[in-house]
Structure 1
Protein backbone atom coordinates (compact mmCIF):
# COMPACT_ATOMS: atom_id res chain seq x y z
CA UNK A 1 0.00 0.00 0.00
CA UNK A 2 1.21 3.51 -0.81
CA UNK A 3 1.62 6.28 1.73
CA UNK A 4 -1.19 8.71 2.46
CA UNK A 5 1.04 11.54 1.25
CA UNK A 6 1.27 10.02 -2.24
CA UNK A 7 -2.47 9.37 -2.41
CA UNK A 8 -3.58 12.70 -1.03
CA UNK A 9 -3.38 14.61 -4.30
CA UNK A 10 -4.73 11.84 -6.50
CA UNK A 11 -7.95 10.59 -4.90
CA UNK A 12 -10.17 13.11 -6.69
CA UNK A 13 -8.52 12.34 -10.03
CA UNK A 14 -8.94 8.61 -9.44
CA UNK A 15 -12.65 9.21 -8.80
CA UNK A 16 -12.96 11.40 -11.89
CA UNK A 17 -11.21 8.79 -14.04
CA UNK A 18 -13.47 5.97 -12.86
CA UNK A 19 -16.60 8.06 -13.34
CA UNK A 20 -15.46 9.12 -16.81
CA UNK A 21 -15.36 5.42 -17.74
CA UNK A 22 -18.61 4.45 -15.98
CA UNK A 23 -21.96 6.22 -16.23
CA UNK A 24 -22.45 6.12 -12.47
CA UNK A 25 -20.92 4.46 -9.42
CA UNK A 26 -21.59 4.34 -5.69
CA UNK A 27 -18.97 4.83 -2.99
CA UNK A 28 -18.21 1.24 -2.05
CA UNK A 29 -18.09 0.30 -5.73
CA UNK A 30 -15.44 2.99 -6.30
CA UNK A 31 -13.24 1.77 -3.45
CA UNK A 32 -13.49 -1.84 -4.61
CA UNK A 33 -12.71 -0.96 -8.23
CA UNK A 34 -9.60 0.98 -7.17
CA UNK A 35 -8.53 -1.92 -4.97
CA UNK A 36 -9.04 -4.37 -7.86
CA UNK A 37 -7.27 -2.24 -10.48
CA UNK A 38 -4.24 -1.68 -8.24
CA UNK A 39 -3.87 -5.21 -6.87
CA UNK A 40 -4.66 -3.92 -3.35
CA UNK A 41 -1.91 -1.27 -3.52
CA UNK A 42 -4.30 1.68 -3.35
CA UNK A 43 -6.89 1.46 -0.60
CA UNK A 44 -9.12 4.50 -0.23
CA UNK A 45 -10.64 4.99 3.20
CA UNK A 46 -14.31 5.88 3.51
CA UNK A 47 -13.38 9.21 5.07
CA UNK A 48 -11.10 10.20 2.20
CA UNK A 49 -13.54 8.92 -0.41
CA UNK A 50 -16.66 10.66 0.87
CA UNK A 51 -14.78 13.87 1.64
CA UNK A 52 -13.64 13.97 -1.99
CA UNK A 53 -17.05 12.99 -3.38
CA UNK A 54 -18.79 15.71 -1.35
CA UNK A 55 -16.22 18.31 -2.43
CA UNK A 56 -16.66 17.37 -6.09
CA UNK A 57 -20.43 17.50 -5.70
CA UNK A 58 -20.29 20.91 -3.99
CA UNK A 59 -18.22 22.32 -6.86
CA UNK A 60 -20.70 21.08 -9.47
CA UNK A 61 -18.47 18.35 -10.88
CA UNK A 62 -20.73 15.50 -9.69
CA UNK A 63 -24.45 14.89 -9.47
CA UNK A 64 -26.00 12.32 -7.19
CA UNK A 65 -28.91 9.96 -7.52
CA UNK A 66 -30.34 8.11 -4.55
CA UNK A 67 -31.80 4.65 -5.22
CA UNK A 68 -33.55 2.58 -2.58
CA UNK A 69 -31.87 -0.81 -2.21
CA UNK A 70 -34.05 -2.78 0.16
CA UNK A 71 -34.50 -0.45 3.10
CA UNK A 72 -31.31 1.52 2.52
CA UNK A 73 -30.68 4.26 0.01
CA UNK A 74 -27.64 3.88 -2.23
CA UNK A 75 -26.16 7.11 -3.55
CA UNK A 76 -24.81 6.96 -7.08
CA UNK A 77 -22.39 9.57 -8.36
CA UNK A 78 -22.05 10.70 -11.96
CA UNK A 79 -20.15 13.43 -13.75
CA UNK A 80 -22.02 16.57 -14.72
CA UNK A 81 -21.46 18.08 -18.17
CA UNK A 82 -18.88 20.43 -16.62
CA UNK A 83 -17.52 17.48 -14.63
CA UNK A 84 -16.66 15.66 -17.85
CA UNK A 85 -14.54 18.63 -18.93
CA UNK A 86 -12.90 18.90 -15.50
CA UNK A 87 -12.20 15.16 -15.49
CA UNK A 88 -10.52 15.30 -18.90
CA UNK A 89 -8.37 18.27 -17.82
CA UNK A 90 -7.34 16.73 -14.49
CA UNK A 91 -6.58 13.32 -16.01
CA UNK A 92 -4.43 14.92 -18.73
CA UNK A 93 -2.63 17.04 -16.13
CA UNK A 94 -1.85 14.01 -13.93
CA UNK A 95 -0.72 11.99 -16.94
CA UNK A 96 1.67 14.76 -17.94
CA UNK A 97 2.92 15.06 -14.35
CA UNK A 98 3.57 11.29 -14.17
CA UNK A 99 5.58 11.47 -17.42
CA UNK A 100 7.63 14.39 -16.07
CA UNK A 101 8.20 12.64 -12.76
CA UNK A 102 9.24 9.50 -14.60
CA UNK A 103 11.79 11.54 -16.56
CA UNK A 104 13.26 12.86 -13.32
CA UNK A 105 13.39 9.42 -11.73
CA UNK A 106 14.81 7.77 -14.85
CA UNK A 107 17.42 10.54 -15.16
CA UNK A 108 18.41 10.11 -11.51
CA UNK A 109 18.73 6.35 -11.93
CA UNK A 110 20.92 6.73 -15.02
CA UNK A 111 23.30 8.94 -13.03
CA UNK A 112 23.74 6.32 -10.31
Structure 2
Protein backbone atom coordinates (compact mmCIF):
# COMPACT_ATOMS: atom_id res chain seq x y z
CA UNK A 1 0.00 0.00 0.00
CA UNK A 2 1.73 3.10 -1.23
CA UNK A 3 0.00 5.57 1.03
CA UNK A 4 0.33 4.54 4.68
CA UNK A 5 -1.72 7.60 5.67
CA UNK A 6 -4.88 5.91 4.42
CA UNK A 7 -4.92 3.39 7.27
CA UNK A 8 -4.12 5.81 10.11
CA UNK A 9 -7.78 6.67 10.71
CA UNK A 10 -8.55 2.96 10.87
CA UNK A 11 -5.71 1.88 13.13
CA UNK A 12 -7.75 1.69 16.33
CA UNK A 13 -10.43 -0.35 14.57
CA UNK A 14 -7.75 -2.69 13.18
CA UNK A 15 -6.34 -3.19 16.69
CA UNK A 16 -9.78 -3.82 18.20
CA UNK A 17 -10.64 -6.36 15.49
CA UNK A 18 -7.38 -8.26 15.99
CA UNK A 19 -7.89 -8.38 19.75
CA UNK A 20 -11.47 -9.57 19.26
CA UNK A 21 -10.15 -12.48 17.18
CA UNK A 22 -7.05 -13.29 19.25
CA UNK A 23 -8.08 -12.64 22.87
CA UNK A 24 -4.82 -10.96 23.88
CA UNK A 25 -1.76 -9.79 21.99
CA UNK A 26 1.40 -7.78 22.57
CA UNK A 27 2.47 -4.86 20.41
CA UNK A 28 5.01 -6.52 18.15
CA UNK A 29 2.63 -9.43 17.64
CA UNK A 30 -0.03 -6.99 16.41
CA UNK A 31 2.35 -5.42 13.88
CA UNK A 32 3.39 -8.84 12.57
CA UNK A 33 -0.20 -10.11 12.34
CA UNK A 34 -1.24 -7.06 10.29
CA UNK A 35 1.78 -7.47 8.05
CA UNK A 36 0.96 -11.17 7.52
CA UNK A 37 -2.77 -10.62 6.92
CA UNK A 38 -2.06 -7.89 4.35
CA UNK A 39 0.80 -9.82 2.73
CA UNK A 40 3.20 -7.03 3.65
CA UNK A 41 1.06 -4.24 2.18
CA UNK A 42 0.34 -2.66 5.55
CA UNK A 43 3.17 -2.07 7.97
CA UNK A 44 2.26 -0.53 11.31
CA UNK A 45 5.13 1.31 12.93
CA UNK A 46 5.74 1.39 16.67
CA UNK A 47 5.33 5.16 16.47
CA UNK A 48 1.76 4.69 15.29
CA UNK A 49 0.87 1.54 17.23
CA UNK A 50 1.75 2.42 20.81
CA UNK A 51 -0.02 5.81 20.94
CA UNK A 52 -3.13 4.05 19.56
CA UNK A 53 -2.87 1.28 22.17
CA UNK A 54 -2.39 3.81 24.97
CA UNK A 55 -5.40 5.83 23.77
CA UNK A 56 -7.59 2.73 23.65
CA UNK A 57 -6.43 1.81 27.15
CA UNK A 58 -7.09 5.34 28.45
CA UNK A 59 -10.58 5.19 26.91
CA UNK A 60 -11.32 2.02 28.88
CA UNK A 61 -11.44 -0.23 25.82
CA UNK A 62 -8.32 -2.26 26.62
CA UNK A 63 -6.87 -3.91 29.69
CA UNK A 64 -3.16 -4.53 30.04
CA UNK A 65 -1.72 -7.72 31.45
CA UNK A 66 2.00 -7.88 32.16
CA UNK A 67 3.73 -11.25 31.96
CA UNK A 68 7.32 -12.30 32.31
CA UNK A 69 8.57 -13.99 29.15
CA UNK A 70 12.13 -15.21 29.52
CA UNK A 71 14.04 -12.30 31.00
CA UNK A 72 11.61 -9.68 29.73
CA UNK A 73 8.34 -8.22 30.84
CA UNK A 74 5.75 -8.23 28.07
CA UNK A 75 2.56 -6.16 27.95
CA UNK A 76 -0.44 -8.01 26.60
CA UNK A 77 -3.49 -6.05 25.52
CA UNK A 78 -7.01 -7.42 25.64
CA UNK A 79 -10.49 -6.03 25.19
CA UNK A 80 -12.56 -4.90 28.15
CA UNK A 81 -16.31 -5.51 28.09
CA UNK A 82 -16.72 -1.93 26.87
CA UNK A 83 -14.02 -2.60 24.26
CA UNK A 84 -15.93 -5.60 22.94
CA UNK A 85 -19.07 -3.48 22.48
CA UNK A 86 -17.07 -0.66 20.88
CA UNK A 87 -15.46 -3.14 18.46
CA UNK A 88 -18.89 -4.18 17.16
CA UNK A 89 -19.83 -0.51 16.73
CA UNK A 90 -16.58 0.46 14.97
CA UNK A 91 -16.68 -2.53 12.64
CA UNK A 92 -20.22 -1.60 11.59
CA UNK A 93 -19.04 1.97 10.97
CA UNK A 94 -16.11 0.66 8.94
CA UNK A 95 -18.42 -1.49 6.79
CA UNK A 96 -20.59 1.55 6.05
CA UNK A 97 -17.54 3.67 5.26
CA UNK A 98 -16.16 1.03 2.88
CA UNK A 99 -19.52 0.71 1.15
CA UNK A 100 -19.71 4.50 0.72
CA UNK A 101 -16.15 4.63 -0.62
CA UNK A 102 -16.97 1.84 -3.07
CA UNK A 103 -19.90 3.92 -4.37
CA UNK A 104 -17.56 6.85 -4.88
CA UNK A 105 -14.56 5.03 -6.31
CA UNK A 106 -16.29 2.47 -8.49
CA UNK A 107 -20.00 3.26 -8.94
CA UNK A 108 -20.46 0.55 -11.60
CA UNK A 109 -19.60 -2.20 -9.09
CA UNK A 110 -21.93 -0.64 -6.54
CA UNK A 111 -24.94 -1.19 -8.79
CA UNK A 112 -24.45 -4.96 -8.99
TM-superposed CA distance for 1:2, in Å, is 3.6
- 1:108 deviates by 7.5
Q: Where in structure 1 do 4 or more consecutive aligned residues deviate above 4 Å?
A: none
Q: Distance in 2 between matches of 1:37 and 1:53?
A: 19
- What residue number does 1:26 align with? 26
- SS for the counterpart of 1:42 is coil
Deviation at 1:70, TM superposition (A): 1.3
Question: Structure 1 4/16 Cα, relative in aligned 2: closer, same or farther at 3 Å?
Answer: same
Alignment-derived partner of residue 9 in structure 2: 9
TM-score of the pair, normalised by structure 2 = 0.92
Structure 1 unaligned spans of 5+: none
CA contact (8 A) 1:34 1:43 kept: yes
Aligned residue pair count: 110
8 Å Cα contact 1:2-1:42 kept in structure 2: no
Structure 2 gaps, min length 5: none
State the superposition RMSD in angstroms: 1.6
